[in-house]
């Protein structure tokens, strides 16, 4: 069994990791560290786990675990790794954006690999440290990577993506407060979202020159999921685009091309990314749907763990969507 530690266990991605790893056939949780809840029952914070686990949060780490997941806000992962040491064999999977960009991907002698299996599967298998991608970044890259792989991003790309409120973490804020968020919709950080850096680096790893990418992030009045659309000029046929996407994702365990237009609920509570292609005149519209906390965070982190430890890529991740 893979012995795992979780840091930041009271947050949303930490909670999702606990749920997945408790059911994982090849892994067991060694400890769940919390800065704010040490000594309390995990099920007091995550009540859905009542009757599933009697574990308590700890205020200390077991430095000999096989893998440690960092579920902390940006900047806190670096601080945590500097303050706490683990064995040389302990693999690290960080869910923050501390190590995602090439220029940030080192901490002392640790070298982080960008953990998008559809792009870096072989590198992930051999990695000791993973920078898990951002949620918007996952949905958007999976929508565009096949085009970049054939140098087909020739003109401006326009992206609109809407996220649920769990994307902002467990702490309440003005824009996650129920009274504001419910029955509401809004955009934020137009064209400047922090995930643009990792999206651009991944596309540039496949296509030398990429066109301007215009990304408008939106807040939706639902709790989970990201529904993204991207469109750009594409003069070949729809059939050629579908063949390109199906070939690019032929070995992907969780990314699938649908013949049908998508809705969000078909992927919520799963580690899937579903894609759909539509052509109108010379425009190709790519839709992409994921669960922000699973394929966009904790599910993808476990997918990376599975690859790093040589167990089946989908182990522990055969989850059921909440279609209705
Ligand atoms: N939410 C998403 O959809 C999503 C998707 C992809 C990536 N991410 C990234 O994953 C990381 C965790 O996200 P999350 O949504 O799980 O966040 P969160 O719900 O806010 O949880 C973060 C946890 O970090 C711990 N923590 C430790 N030191 C802290 C400090 N100084 N200030 C605040 N919290 C501190 C807290 O847990 P304890 O009190 O138990 O220590 C807190 O609950 C972030 O970097 C985020 O950007 C999130």
Residue 204 pLDDT: 98
pLDDT surpassing 90 at residue 8: yes
**C-alpha dist (Å) from residue 94 to 14, 74, 181, 302:** 11, 10, 29, 11
pTM: 0.98
Domain locations in the chain as residue ranges:
2-132+297-308, 135-290
pLDDT surpassing 90 at residue 324: no
Residue 299's pLDDT band (cuts 50, 70, 90): very high
Residue 322 pLDDT: 84
Average pLDDT over residues 220-232: 98
Given the DSSP bridges, would you call strands 226-233 and 283-290 parallel, antiparallel or unpaired? antiparallel
Residue 79 pLDDT: 96
Q: What is d(CA 139, CA 228) in angstroms, rounded to the nearest whole number?
A: 7
pLDDT tens, position by position, 134-173 = 999 999 999 999 999 999 998 999 999 999 999 999 999 9
DSSP state of 168: G
Sheet harboring 226-233: ordered strands across? 186-187, 213-219, 157-163, 226-233, 283-290, 273-280, 255-258
**Cβ(63)–Cβ(90) under 8 Å?**
yes
Residue 90's pLDDT band (cuts 50, 70, 90): very high
Q: Which of 251, 256, 255 is nearest to 296 (CA)?
A: 255
Distance 261 CA to ligand 1 centre (A): 33
Q: Is domain 2-132+297-308 given the CATH code 3.30.310.50 in the classification?
A: no
pLDDT surpassing 90 at residue 194: yes
Burial class (CB in 10 A: 0-12, 13-18, 19+), 185: exposed
Residue 232 pLDDT: 98
Residues in the ligand 1 pocket, defined by CB under 6 Å? 8-14, 34-37, 71-74, 76, 95-96, 134-135, 166-167, 169-171, 292-293, 296-297
Residue 323's pLDDT band (cuts 50, 70, 90): confident
Residues that are catalytic = 135
Q: What is d(CA 101, CA 203) in angstroms, rounded to the nearest whole number?
A: 13
Q: What is d(CA 274, CA 254) in angstroms, rounded to the nearest whole number?
A: 8
pLDDT tens, position by position, 99-138 = 999 999 999 989 999 999 999 999 999 999 999 999 999 9
Just give the CATH number of 135-290. Answer: 3.30.360.10
Average pLDDT over residues 253-272: 98
Pocket test of ligand 1: the residue of 6, 11, 69, 161 to mutate, having most ligand atoms within 8 Å of its CB, is: 11
Distance 74 CA to ligand 1 centre (A): 8
Distance 169 CA to ligand 1 centre (A): 6
Contacts of 20 (CB under 8 A, 6+ apart): 298, 299, 302, 316, 317
Average pLDDT over residues 47-74: 97
Residue 23 pLDDT: 97
Distance 282 CA to ligand 1 centre (A): 42
Which atom of ligand 1 approaches the CA of 7 most closely?
Answer: 41
Burial class (CB in 10 A: 0-12, 13-18, 19+), 255: buried
pLDDT tens, position by position, 274-294 = 999 999 999 999 999 999 999
């Amino acid at each position: 069994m893979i012995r795992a530690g979780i840091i930041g266990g009271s947050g949303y991605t930490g909670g999702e990791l606990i749920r997945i790893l408790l059911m994982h056939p090849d892994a067991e949780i060694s400890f769940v560290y919390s800065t704010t809840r040490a000594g309390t029952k995990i099920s007091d914070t995550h009540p859905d786990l009542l009757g599933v686990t009697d574990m308590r949060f700890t205020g200390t780490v077991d430095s000999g675990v096989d893998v440690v997941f960092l579920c902390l806000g940006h900047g806190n992962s670096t601080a945590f790794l500097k303050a706490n040491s683990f064995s040389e064999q302990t693999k690290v999977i960080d869910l923050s954006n501390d190590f995602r960009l090439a220029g940030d991907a080192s901490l002392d002698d640790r070298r982080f690999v960008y953990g998008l299996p559809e792009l870096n599967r072989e590198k992930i298998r051999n990695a000791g440290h993973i920078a898990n991608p951002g949620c918007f970044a996952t949905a958007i890259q999976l929508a565009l990577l096949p085009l970049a792989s054939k140098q087909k991003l020739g003109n401006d790309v326009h992206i609109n993506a809407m996220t649920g409120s769990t994307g902002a973490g467990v702490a309440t804020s003005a824009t996650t407060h129920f009274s504001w968020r419910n029955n509401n919709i809004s955009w934020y950080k137009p064209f400047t979202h922090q995930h643009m850096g990792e999206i651009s680096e991944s596309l540039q790893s496949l296509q030398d020159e990429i066109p301007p990418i215009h990304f408008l992030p939106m807040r939706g009045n639902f709790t989970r999921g990201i529904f993204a659309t991207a469109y750009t000029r594409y003069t070949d046929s729809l059939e050629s685009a579908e063949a390109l996407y199906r070939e690019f994702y032929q070995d992907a365990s969780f990314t699938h091309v649908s013949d049908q237009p998508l809705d969000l609920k078909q992927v919520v509570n799963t580690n899937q990314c579903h894609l759909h292609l539509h052509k109108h005149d010379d425009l190709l519209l790519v839709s992409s749907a994921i669960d922000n906390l699973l394929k966009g965070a904790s599910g993808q982190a476990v997918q990376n763990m599975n690859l790093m430890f040589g167990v089946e890529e989908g182990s522990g991740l055969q989850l059921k969507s909440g279609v209705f």
